[in-house]
Amino acid sequence: MRTVQAYRFALDLTPGQERGVLAHAGAARVAHNWALARVKAVMEQRAAERSYGVAEELLTPAVGWSLPALRRAWNAAKHNVAPWWRECSKEAFNTGLDALARALKNWSSSRTGKRAGRPVGFPRFKSRRRSTPAVRFTTGTIRVEPDRTHVVLPRLGRLKLHESGRKLARRIDNGTARIMSATVRRDAGRWHVSFCVEVERAERRPTRTDSTIGVDVGITNLAVLSTGETEPNPRHLTAARQRLRHLGRALSRKTGPDRRTGQRPSNRWQRASARLGRAHARVANLRRDSLHKLTTQLCQEHGTIVVEDLNVAGMLRNRRLARHIADAGFGELRRQLTYKTQWNGGRLIVADRWYPSSKTCSGCGAVKTKLALSERTYTCQTCGLTIDRDHNAALNLAALAAQYNTAGSGPVAARRADQKTRQRGQVAVKREPGTATAGQTGTVPPQRAGLPIMCSQECTER
C-alpha cells in the first residue's frame, strides 16, 4: 500500500542559518502580498466599473489566480518588485504564491457552494511580525545525510537535526520511501523540518482481526470501550492552567505592541511572550502524544472500531464545557483513527450523528425519550438494566457494526454519516431514533439540525 506520510524533526540552527531561513520566509511573504494586492486591485477596479454601468466586455481584463498564472506574473515583475530575488531560492517565492492560490480557490469555492463547511473569507495580507515563518521546497537537493543527524536543503545547505532521522533514512535506503517536499517552519520558538514522503507500507493485520470494539469519548474518561476498559482523560490544559496564568500575568506587565500608536514591543515582552508560547506548545504536544498512543493501540489490536460522528463545533458553543472539550481533542482522535485503521488493515465505522447510543438500552434495545447529561448511570425502565452511561453507549456502538459488513479496510459510514454537508434549501433526512433495521426514514426539523427554517418552493412563489 502506497500512502503519503509526514516525518517531522526538530532543527538546531546556527544564527547564520536562522537568518537564511527567515530571509526565505520573508521572500515568500513578499510574493504572497504582492500577488494578493494585484488580484485585489483588479477585482476592485472591475467592481467600480460595473457600478458606473460599463459593459461587461469593456471591463478591465481579469487576472488569473491559479498557481501557473501567478508564477508568470511574478516572473515578469520580480525584477522591479524584488531586485534581490537571486539571493533566495525560487521555492521561497513559490511558497507564497502557492498559499495564495489555495486561499483564493477556497474562497471562490466557498462562495459558489462547491466547498462544504463554514464560509471561507477573502485572503489577508501577511504581517512580518504576526505571521508564522515557513518555506517549502519541492525541487532541488533534499536528502538526509548518511550520519542521519543532518539534512540538506536547497540554498540553505546542511542543517543539523536535534534528533536522529533514522526512521526516514531507513525507508529511503530500503527504497520504500520517496521525499516529495520539505517544509521548514518555526513553532513556539523552535524550528522544525517536515518531509512529505510517499511511503510504501507493508500490509498489516490487527492482532485480533475479528474483534469489534465501540469507543465512546467523553470528558471524565477520554474513551470508554465496549470491553469495559476506560482511558482516563489526562487534562493537560487543566494541569498547566496555573503556570499559564502566571506567565500570562507576567506578560501583561510588560510593554507590549500597540497598533494604534505604532509602539514596538519591548525585549522583555518578547521574551515573556516566547515563554508563554512554549508553555502552550508543550500542552499541545502532550495532548497529541497521548492521543497517538491511544489510537495506535486500538488500531493495532482491533479489526473494527466504531465511533460517533460528534458535532464538535456545536459542542464548543457550550461555554461551561468548551475548554474541557477542546482539551480532550475529540476531532483529533477521530482523525487519527481514520488513517491508522487504513495503515493497519482495520475498519472504522462512524455512527450517524443522530444515532441514540446513550439513550438506547444495550440489553433490550428500548430507547429513552429524555436523558439528562447529569445522569451518569443508565437505568432501563423496561428490563431493569443498570449500567454506566458511557459503557452502555460503547456497547451500542459495538453492536452497530454487525449491520455493516463492508469488505476491505478504511472508514465506513453508518447511517449516512458519509454524506457531505447539504446545500442550502436541501432537507436533511435521517433514520428514526432507535430503529435497528433499514427503512423508517424521517425528516429532521430545521431547528434540531441547526439550520434556519426554510419554506418550500410553493410557499416561496406564493
pLDDT tens-place string over residues 62-101: 999 999 999 999 999 999 999 999 999 999 999 999 999 9
What is the C-alpha radius of gyration for the chain, rounded to an integer number of angstroms?
Answer: 27
Set out the domains of the chain in order of their start, with CATH numbers: 2-9+137-200 (no CATH), 16-112 (no CATH), 210-234+289-419 (3.30.420)
pLDDT tens, position by position, 369-381: 888 888 889 999 8
For residue 230, give the nearest of 393, 372, 380 by alpha carbon: 393
Strands (E), 120-270: 134-137, 143-144, 150-153, 157-161, 177-187, 190-200, 208-217, 221-225, 230-232
Terminal-to-terminal C-alpha distance of the chain: 57
What is the C-alpha to C-alpha distance for residues 165 and 149, in angstroms, rounded to an integer? 6
- Could you say which of 98, 231, 308, 327 is catalytic? 308
Answer yes or no: 216 catalytic: yes
pLDDT tens, position by position, 308-330: 999 898 899 988 899 999 999 99
pLDDT at 461 over 50: no
- Could you say which of 91, 216, 309, 327 is catalytic? 216
Query: 71 or 406: whose pLDDT is higher?
Result: 71
Asked whether the beta carbons of 145 and 152 are under 8 A apart, the reply is: yes
Given phi > 0 = left and psi -120 to 50 = alpha, else beta, which region is 412?
A: beta
Residues in a beta bridge with 225: 215
What is the C-alpha to C-alpha distance for residues 39 and 69, in angstroms, rounded to an integer? 11
pLDDT at 26 over 90: yes
Q: How many CB atoms lie within 10 A of CB 303?
A: 21
pLDDT tens, position by position, 416-445: 444 443 343 433 333 333 333 333 333 333
What is the C-alpha to C-alpha distance for residues 300 and 12, in angstroms, rounded to an integer? 34
Answer yes or no: 301 catalytic: no
pLDDT at 443: 34
pLDDT at 274: 93
CA 206 to chain centre: 26
What is the C-alpha to C-alpha distance for residues 454 and 352, in angstroms, rounded to an integer? 23
* DSSP tag of 200: E
Asked whether the beta carbons of 199 and 4 are under 8 A apart, the reply is: yes
pLDDT at 413: 60
Angle at CA 72, nearest 5°, toward 46 and 88? Answer: 120
For residue 206, give the nearest of 305, 306, 339, 299 by alpha carbon: 299
pLDDT tens, position by position, 286-311: 999 999 999 999 999 999 999 999 98
